[in-house]
């Protein structure tokens, strides 16, 4: 009997002649956490889709041995039946349903042909307890934050008696505290003998959690090592094939006069007991990178939505750009006025999944390409698309590929390209490097400096404190819809930000 619960041998997977995986081998022992690392587009999600039957047997070559038997899954159901559960990079729960309905979707408990609601309710309570989620099973999913939804996904996997849990970038949208909780739950599951394949670009998590680390690059296996013997730099080197001497390429750059003034921003959902954004005023200088920190739910995203005219609910704000008062009621007007935003929830606000990579980039600029011709000047469009694919190193087989086929990180780059194409004066980035690998992050930071050097101003919302500290010139901290502090980046520490983000009293620093 093999010592492994899961053994992947020599997996090769092609997409229309392009090899996304080229002979990858990976093993997981019972009760072991193995992290899978690699750059954006290196094939991590594809490999896990092979394991979980999303890509069925026959669509790849190589062998999968699970629990001593060949697994030749025709679909997800087959892999679930043997105890493999996958939580995909983009959450797949149904927002309109309750927690209970989501957990039992397609798996309902019935009694004499009728739904046994009572049994399902009880079972859901037990499952929620296991993932330390203190909510009512009948809570509509859309009322939960991303972190809580993630835990519901895990509860759902546990309900299927998973023996191997695959987590594809589970923490990319979570706060520090939620991440701690998630890691703790994975550790608890490991103690119960459940194995885990963990995919993350956050190498500190990878090292804190895993027993072994497997690294792939461009679909090829680079190696597998015991986590104990590795440093973050070792992993980076294996991932990118070279050492990155620093993670944050801070550059001195000129900061000019105030160009944007935001006064008394307010945003509230209908029927809510308190506003999500409550009387916030701040300004932004030319060439400045302004970081916005705070816990998830502190109102950072909603504040940005106010500025960009896409808040769903009641909002008011006075915005002055270059001394000119703006009246922004939708995103189109915001873009027209020179304010662009890369949204947090890319699946909902960022991309049109079935449209090509190229067209997703040029969507906000189509007017421009059809200015002198009837229809769209595809030649000019193509030239620009290629330019941005090169500048942001977007990994795609062609400009015509449907964007949903791009890896998560590369989709993010396309969204960024789309906004940059509108040549805004103020660029709002809401979690700009979420799901982006260390090498590409570095490229994005460098690009941000290039943009501010050209005179653009950037507002960056980020939950990653090292990023906030490493990139911003100035940092605002929000807490429960209010502005709690303002800091210059010099001398600023993570502790100071956290202190402020959870503090009760209003402070003002400079």
Ligand X SMILES: Nc1ncnc2c1ncn2[C@@H]1O[C@H](COP(=O)(O)OP(=O)(O)OP(=O)(O)O)[C@@H](O)[C@H]1O
Binding site for ligand X (CB under 6 A): 15, 20, 38, 40-46, 89, 395-396, 405-410, 437
Q: How is 205-266 classified by DSSP, letter by letter?
A: HHHHH-SEEEEEETTEEEEEEEGGG--HHHHHHHHHSS--S-S---------SEEEEEEEEE
Q: Which is nearer to Mg ion, 35 or 407 (CB)?
A: 407
* Chosen from Mg ion, ligand X, none, partner binding at 409 (C-beta under 5 to 8 Å by type): ligand X
Q: Which is nearer to ligand X, 98 or 410 (CB)?
A: 410
Q: Which is nearer to ligand X, 338 or 435 (CB)?
A: 435
From CA 105, how far away is CA 67, in angstroms rounded? 27
Q: Which of residues 122-141 bind Mg ion (CB under 5 A)?
A: none
* Chosen from ligand X, Mg ion, none, partner binding at 395 (C-beta under 5 to 8 Å by type): ligand X
Q: CA–CA distance from 322 to each of 257, 261, 286, 428 (Å)?
A: 10, 9, 10, 17
Q: Which is nearer to Mg ion, 163 or 201 (CB)?
A: 201
Q: Which of residues 384-413 bind Mg ion (CB under 5 A)?
A: 407-408
Give me the least distance between CB of 146 and ligand X, in Å please: 17
Q: Which is nearer to ligand X, 347 or 507 (CB)?
A: 347
Give me the least distance between CB of 294 and ligand X, in Å please: 26
Residue 488: both structure tokens together: 């210059």
Q: CA–CA distance from 328 to each of 143, 276, 344 (Å)?
A: 27, 19, 20
* Contact status: 45 vs Mg ion (CB under 5 A): yes
Which of these segments, 38-46, 215-223, 357-365, 500-508, binds Mg ion (CB under 5 A)? 38-46
Give me the least distance between CB of 38 and ligand X, in Å please: 5
Element (H, E) at 284: strand 277-285
Residue 135: both structure tokens together: 């909510």
- Phi, psi dihedral angles at 444 (to 5 degrees): -70, -40
CB-based contacts of 432, cutoff 8 Å, min separation 6: 342, 412, 416, 444, 448, 460, 462
Give me the least distance between CB of 60 and ligand X, in Å please: 12
313 Ramachandran zone, left/alpha/beta (phi>0; psi -120 to 50): left
Which of these segments, 15-23, 58-66, 86-94, 121-129, binds Mg ion (CB under 5 A)? 86-94
* Chosen from Mg ion, ligand X, none, partner binding at 102 (C-beta under 5 to 8 Å by type): none
Give me the least distance between CB of 462 and ligand X, in Å please: 18
Give me the least distance between CB of 434 and Mg ion, in Å please: 12
* Chosen from Mg ion, ligand X, none, partner binding at 288 (C-beta under 5 to 8 Å by type): none
Residue in the shown chain whose Cβ atom is closest to Mg ion: 45
334 Ramachandran zone, left/alpha/beta (phi>0; psi -120 to 50): alpha
Decide if 457 contacts 427 (C-beta within 8 A). yes
Give me the least distance between CB of 89 and ligand X, in Å please: 6
Residues in contact with Mg ion by CB under 5 A are 45, 89, 407-408
């Amino acid at each position: 009997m093999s010592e492994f619960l899961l053994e992947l041998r020599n997996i090769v997977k092609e997409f229309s002649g392009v090899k996304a995986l080229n002979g990858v081998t990976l093993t997981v022992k019972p009760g072991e956490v193995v992290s899978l690392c690699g750059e954006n587009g290196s094939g991590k999600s594809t490999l896990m889709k092979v394991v979980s039957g999303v890509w069925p047997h026959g669509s790849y070559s190589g062998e999968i041995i699970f629990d001593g038997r060949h697994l030749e899954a025709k679909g997800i159901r087959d892999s679930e039946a043997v105890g493999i559960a996958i939580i995909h990079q983009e959450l797949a729960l149904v927002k309109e349903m309750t927690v209970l309905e989501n957990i039992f979707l397609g798996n309902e408990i019935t009694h004499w042909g009728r739904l046994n609601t009572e049994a399902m309710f009880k079972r859901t309570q037990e499952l929620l307890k296991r993932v330390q989620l203190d909510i009512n099973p009948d809570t509509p999913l859309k009322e939960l934050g991303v972190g809580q939804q993630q835990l519901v996904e895990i509860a759902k996997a546990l309900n299927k008696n998973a023996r191997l849990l695959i987590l594809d970038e589970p923490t990319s949208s979570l706060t520090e505290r939620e991440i701690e909780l998630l890691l703790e739950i994975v550790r608890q599951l490991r103690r119960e003998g459940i194995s885990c394949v963990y995919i993350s670009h956050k190498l500190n998590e990878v090292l804190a959690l895993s027993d072994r680390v497997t690294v792939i690059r461009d679909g090829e296996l680079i190696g597998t090592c015991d986590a104990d013997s590795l440093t973050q730099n070792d992993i980076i080197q294996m991932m990118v094939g070279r050492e990155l001497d620093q993670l944050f390429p801070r550059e001195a750059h000129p900061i000019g006069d105030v160009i944007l003034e935001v006064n008394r921003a307010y945003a509230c959902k209908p029927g809510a007991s308190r506003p999500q954004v409550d009387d916030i005023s701040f300004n932004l200088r030319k060439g400045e990178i302004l970081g916005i920190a705070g816990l998830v739910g502190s109102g950072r995203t909603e504040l940005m939505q106010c500025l960009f005219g896409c808040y769903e609910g009641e909002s008011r704000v006075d915005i002055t750009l270059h001394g000119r008062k703006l009246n922004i009621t939708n995103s189109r007007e915001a873009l027209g006025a020179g304010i662009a935003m890369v949204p947090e929830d890319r699946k909902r606000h960022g991309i049109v999944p079935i449209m090509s990579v190229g067209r997703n980039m040029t969507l906000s600029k189509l007017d421009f390409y059809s200015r002198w011709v009837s229809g769209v000047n595809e030649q000019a469009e193509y030239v620009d698309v290629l330019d941005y694919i090169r500048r942001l190193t977007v990994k795609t087989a062609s400009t015509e590929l449907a964007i949903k086929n791009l890896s998560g990180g590369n989709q993010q780059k396309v969204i960024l390209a789309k906004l940059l194409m509108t040549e805004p004066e103020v660029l709002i980035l809401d979690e700009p490097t979420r799901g982006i690998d260390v090498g590409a992050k570095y490229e994005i930071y460098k690009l941000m400096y290039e943009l501010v050097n050209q005179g653009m101003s950037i507002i960056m919302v980020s939950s990653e404190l090292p990023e906030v500290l490493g990139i911003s010139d100035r940092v605002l901290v929000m807490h429960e819809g209010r502005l709690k502090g303002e800091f210059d980046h010099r001398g600023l520490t993570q502790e100071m930000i956290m202190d402020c983000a959870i503090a009760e009293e209003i402070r003002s620093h400079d």
